[in-house]
Structures are given as C-alpha cells and as structure tokens.
C-alpha cells in the first residue's frame, strides 16, 4: 500500500478510507468512477491527495477498492456535502455567543416606557382618588408618576409638569409607555398600543384601558 496524506479529518468509516486510497470521487457530479490500475497520484476532492501502487500485481486490490467505493457511495457523497457546507463562524475563547436580534419578530427591546406600562397594568381596577399617589388609589398623573417610579424614573407630580418631560413624539410614532397629554393639559395617560391608552380616568372610574381620541391630544412625550 502506498503513502497517503489526508488534507482534513473526515468521518468516513475506516473501510471507506481504505477504499479511497485506490480511488477518486468526482465531486462535481457525485459519480464514482472506476479506478485504473495504472493510476499514480490521485486527488479525492474534500479528502486529499493519495499515492497508489501501480502494476498488474495490484489488480485484485484495485477491484476490491472499486467495490468498496460502490458499496459506500452514499456515505462518501454525504461526507462531501457536509464538508462543502459553510463552517460556523469561529469564536475566540471566552467570547460570548451572539445575542439574538432584538428586533426580530416576537422580540422587543425593553424600554423605560414599556417597563412603566407593565407596572401600570398591575393597577388595572384600582380606584380613582383625587391626588392619589398609590399604591391602591390614583389620579391620572399619580398613576403615571407611580408607574415610572417602578421603572426607576422620577417624574414631576402634575399632568401639566409631565407635559414637558422627555422628548415630543408625533401621534403616528407613539410607542407603548409614551405619555399622552389630553384635555388642554389637565389629563395624562400612557399609550398602551393598538390605539389604546391606560389611565386613571376620573372619579368613579377605575384604572382602565380606553380608546385614544387623536383630537384630544395636546402633546405626547417619550421618557428615555
């Protein structure tokens, strides 16, 4: 048996590796050509160069190799296809795995507004109390102030003061948690998405969702 050198490690069974010493695989077509006893150096794509013995005294081994190649054609082709597939991106030792795309469907970046809105949702059904700061009763600005405090942000107390915090937002750009100032500045709500607001409406009404009337908006603010 002549010398051989593999260019890369393979997962082909040992019986097939032995057969490859005597043959070549046509990678472009997947065909398994017969091996001539006069072959010298052959290249098996994806596996490497092989020096094979020549001469009539090796005819029997060549025939056996051809049979082994035929018997394992599907396995060899599968290994070739696996080796041709792009390798995963190499990572340096200790490098963290890449984070999923935060903007992918179903995945949203958590903002201060969303955190505050999540807190306000826990108070749905709480009663309206004039001047109420919670945790059991709220007026409109008291609910907003309490919710943002849960997100780690201190807001001023009244709706008029809250109408100047953060950055102005156009109606079509509203996002969950944005402040919606209504009624000439006398009422504040939190945008809840899908054309709704979450707020403490008025005496006699609990904290609840309501449909947003665009004509009622004085300004909208986003607190970062």
> How does pLDDT run across 43-93, given as a tens digit for each residue?
555 555 555 666 666 667 666 766 766 676 677 666 666 666 554 454 455
* pTM for this entry: 0.53
Q: Helices then strands (H, E): number in the chain? A: 6, 11
Angstrom distance (rounded) from CA 14 to CA 59: 21
Residue 140 appears among annotated catalytic residues: yes
pLDDT in tens, 111-162: 899 999 999 999 999 999 999 999 999 999 999 999 999 999 999 999 999 9
Instruction: Respond yes or no: is residue 72 known to be catalytic.
Output: no
Annotated catalytic residue 199: yes
**Beta strand 196-199 with 208-211: parallel, antiparallel or unpaired?**
antiparallel
- Strand 127-128 relative to strand 41-44, pairing: unpaired
| CB 113, CB 176: distance < 8 Å | yes
Q: What percent of the chain has pLDDT over 70?
A: 53
For domain 112-222, the CATH superfamily is endopeptidase domain like (from Nostoc punctiforme) (3.90.1720.10)
d(CA 138, CA 115): 18
Q: Where are the domains of the chain?
A: 4-84, 112-222
The side-by-side arrangement of strands in the sheet containing 41-44 is 4-6, 48-51, 41-44
Q: Sign of dihedral through CA atoms 67, 72, 73, 76? A: negative
């Amino acid at each position: 048996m002549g010398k051989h050198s593999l260019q890369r490690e393979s997962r082909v069974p040992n019986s097939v590796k032995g057969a490859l010493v005597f043959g070549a695989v046509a990678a472009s077509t997947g065909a398994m050509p017969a091996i001539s006893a006069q072959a010298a150096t052959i290249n098996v794509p994806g596996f490497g160069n092989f020096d094979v013995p020549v001469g009539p005294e090796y005819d029997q081994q060549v025939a056996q190799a051809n049979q082994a190649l035929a018997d394992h054609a599907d396995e060899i082709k599968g290994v070739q296809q696996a080796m041709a597939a792009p390798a995963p991106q190499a990572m340096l030792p200790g490098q963290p795995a890449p984070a999923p795309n935060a903007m992918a469907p179903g995945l949203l970046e958590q903002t201060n507004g969303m955190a505050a809105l999540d807190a306000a949702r826990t108070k749905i059904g709480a009663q309206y109390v004039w001047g109420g700061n919670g945790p059991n009763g709220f007026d409109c600005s008291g609910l907003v102030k309490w919710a943002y405090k849960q997100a780690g942000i201190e807001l001023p107390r009244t709706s008029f003061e809250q109408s100047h915090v953060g950055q102005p937002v156009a109606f079509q750009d509203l996002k969950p948690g944005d402040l919606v100032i209504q009624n000439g500045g006398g009422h504040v709500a939190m945008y809840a998405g899908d054309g709704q607001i979450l707020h403490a409406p008025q005496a006699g009404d609990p904290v609840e969702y309501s449909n947003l009337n665009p004509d009622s908006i004085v300004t909208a603010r986003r607190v970062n």
